[in-house]
Structure 1
């Protein structure tokens, strides 16, 4: 555990710092990363030993309460803000609240603007679902040499503007293997092979939360079967609600055991008082 001052200048500790992640290059060490969506998933990640977290803006304060020492990146969406100043303000707000890096899909100019202010910037290469409309849908990237070269050029351009880390999503594994040591950028591999400095996967994919009707992406590997439990919980919920409905319709519920009764002798007193009571005004 490293002693630090966080970006609000408060004393803190972190399991990993920016420098630690940068030192992963060539070390042979791999870290795990996932994206808890709520407090229960966050606690599960911590108890399971997941190294790094990435969360949405609404979660960062909760993360700092539940996992005060865990490295946590904060995400923003592409269309969340219209102006560079709004993005800058949001980034500073997220860092003040305990973020350790700031994810953005915006332009190189915006990335450079944030980096120049000392904000550790994370971006994205390969498959970017937000932009899948422009590239023919959800697909793998870098399977052809010319596209692989464009990935490398983009990575180097990001490096030039000060980007600290990227999510490398659905890139041919040979491409990430070839370029990873040619950049100082820390790579988070999501479906892009073992060459990434950090191996990332979504909580829902790891835990096997997809329903039987869903088709998980190629990079998703279920290490559990939480989906089965979700289905069982749903079936139990439907059964319980159905039984409740039938008992109400049959005028059997509420049961005597669930009702509250008056103390002995009080009913008679109440009914007598009720019969005698007359309103004093209309």
Structure 2
């Protein structure tokens, strides 16, 4: 349960102040109903561009558009009253220039009401992060395994295994924190490297496949709740198996419809006389 009072939303300063304190509880959310269910239990809800794979069936996050992120960001804001909501900037919406990033980030915040944006990249995006932060756009950085760079990296693989990789992800995290990022997501980063980065940074780290030493943890909600049966990433713990429950419920519904057990009289709108007789 968040430590922020129930009558106000968790703010960016609240998130920043949790450095070295009680771990931040973070999950993804893409819809109003999921946001309503998760909001009482989380400090931060991320409208991740992972929705491209989770909801739309894309092979990567690259096809996700700015309009998609804004639509889902607004939906989550309608369902979340307490958690800080952060919206991912999709591929191609910020890499061209700081000015392009500001225009698109400002549109996300204005049209969704979210508390800030998240963008992937380290040293190369530090100038952009500083440009946004200086103009009132709170930025959560994302370093380590970066899904938008999947083609460059040659797939989804953990980083920090070699000394060169460890130095690079450390430089990336430090550059983004120095540029004004209020938090840094560390994804798919070797545990000792992620722990060392967490100890060194002045802002919270949020781990996903990183380290228990991180200042917070985030997972894709659908992974946590078992809505995918074909693959569970190594770094995920399933807390429910809703996928199989949904499949079972769908099978029972189909059987009832085919056997004409559903709908029954109690599910129909009947004339008053017939309704009294049925009662």
Which TM-score band (shorter chain)?
Answer: 0.7 to 0.9
**Equivalence for 1:26:** 20
**Equivalence for 1:60:** 73
1:43 aligns to 2:36 (yes or no): yes
Q: Is the 8 A contact 1:2 1:17 kept in 2?
A: no
**Equivalence for 2:91:** 78
Q: Which moved more, 1:135-144 or 1:198-207?
A: 135-144
- Which of 204, 221, 232 is 2:248 aligned to? 232
TM-score, normalised relative to structure 2:
0.75
The count of residues paired between Structure 1 and Structure 2 equals 241
Q: Is the 8 A contact 1:57 1:75 kept in 2?
A: no
Report the CA distance between 1:110 and its aligned residue.
2.3
Q: Tell me how far apart the structure 2 counterparts of residues 173 and 39 of structure 1 sit (CA, whole Å).
A: 34
Q: Is the 8 A contact 2:191 2:210 kept in 1?
A: yes
**Equivalence for 2:8:** 13
Q: Secondary structure at the match of 1:54?
A: strand
**Equivalence for 2:214:** 196
1:110 aligns to 2:128 (yes or no): yes
Report the CA distance between 1:258 and its aligned residue.
7.9
Q: How does 1:266-281 map to 2 (within 5 A)?
A: none
Report the CA distance between 1:77 and its aligned residue.
0.8
Q: Is the 8 A contact 1:115 1:121 kept in 2?
A: yes
1:206 aligns to 2:201 (yes or no): no
TM-score, normalised relative to structure 1:
0.74
Rg larger for = 1
Q: Tell me how far apart the structure 2 counterparts of residues 127 and 78 of structure 1 sit (CA, whole Å).
A: 15
Q: Tell me how far apart the structure 1 counterparts of residues 95 and 194 of structure 2 sit (CA, whole Å).
A: 32
Q: Tell me how far apart the structure 2 counterparts of residues 79 and 236 of structure 1 sit (CA, whole Å).
A: 44
Report the CA distance between 1:70 and its aligned residue.
2.2
Change (3 A) 1:259 1:222: closer
Structure 1 unaligned spans of 5+: 4-11, 245-256, 262-282
Report the CA distance between 1:242 and its aligned residue.
5.3
Q: Secondary structure at the match of 1:228?
A: helix
- Which of 239, 242, 254 is 1:223 aligned to? 239
Q: Tell me how far apart the structure 2 counterparts of residues 233 and 201 of structure 1 sit (CA, whole Å).
A: 26
Query: C-alpha offsets along residues 203-228 of structure 1, whole Å, 9 cap, x if unaligned?
Result: 111111112xx121111110111111
Q: Which moved more, 1:145-154 or 1:79-88?
A: 79-88
Structure 2 unaligned spans of 5+: 48-68, 261-266, 272-279
Change (3 A) 1:259 1:126: closer
Q: How does 1:252-267 map to 2 (within 5 A)?
A: none
